[in-house]
Amino acid sequence: MIKVKVKYFGRLRELLGVREEEYNVVDETTLADLLLNHIPSRHKDSATDWKESLFVTIRGEVAVDKNGIPVLKNHVILVRGKTQDLTYMLRNGDEIAILPPVGGGANED
């Protein structure tokens, strides 16, 4: 088994009601598996909002690109501080941060 930590920020943290949590997953689990299956399974009440916040959806279904990879909606996924695509295979001890579109600075503009 592989143990990973997932960190949430902004609207996603608010949606799930948690800042970070751990997941135990089997070998060869990808980021896409984590985001599309493991996290929604643990947060069933928020599963639909989660998928619609994170992914491009068409009539409620997550859209995929020509390679069959789900299409993220303006979010960045960092693993150990580096951007990874959804085919990345999780490694034991990974810290995964799911970043909504940023919005720092003042509200001056």
Q: Which residues bind other proteins (CB under 8 A)?
A: 7, 9-11, 13-14, 74, 78, 81, 97, 99-108
Q: What distance in Å separates the CA atoms of residue 38 and residue 45, rounded to the nearest whole number?
A: 14
Judged by CB, which is closer to other proteins: 2, or 9? 9
Q: Which residue is associated with the tokens 């599309």?
A: 36
Q: What is the smallest separation between the CB atom of 54 and other proteins, expressed in angstroms?
A: 14
Judged by CB, which is closer to other proteins: 48, or 101? 101
Q: Which residue is associated with the tokens 């789900």?
A: 70
Q: What is the smallest separation between the CB atom of 107 and other proteins, expressed in angstroms?
A: 5
> For residue 70, what is the DSSP state?
B
Q: What distance in Å separates the CA atoms of residue 50 and residue 35, rounded to the nearest whole number?
A: 9
Judged by CB, which is closer to other proteins: 37, or 83? 83
